[in-house]
Amino acid sequence: MTPGLIYALAGVALFVLGLAGLILLTSALRRILAFNLMGSGVFLVLVGLAQRDGGVDPVPQAMVLTGIVVAVAATALALALARRLVIPLEKTEK
């Protein structure tokens, strides 16, 4: 087994765990975290598949770095929207 294949299999496992969390969990925060776990799995699969003959292909590496930046921004937006959604509900219940 090559290291790239191990990374790819670990990425698939992370993606499946995140998908299960996304389907089974009801809390908005936990769903956001599960979605991030799925994204990390995809990034790990891309990094694992980018290794060829002992060398590394720089294009998938650059795509993963760009994807990480986009994922952080999307997570911040999702958390802000979740906070805005939950806080008015708490104020009306009191």
The amino acid occupying position 62 is: A
User: In sequence order, what are the beta bridge partners of 52?
Assistant: 55
Counting the structural domains of the chain, the total is: 1
Could you read off the pLDDT tens digit of each residue along the chain, which spans 94 residues? 888 889 999 999 999 999 999 999 988 889 999 999 999 999 999 998 888 777 888 888 899 999 999 999 999 999 999 888 876 655 665 5
Is the CA virtual torsion 17, 19, 23, 25 positive or negative?
positive
84: CATH: 1.10.287.3510
Q: Cα(1)–Cα(90) distance, rounded to whole angstroms?
A: 52
Domain membership of residue 46 as a residue range: 3-93
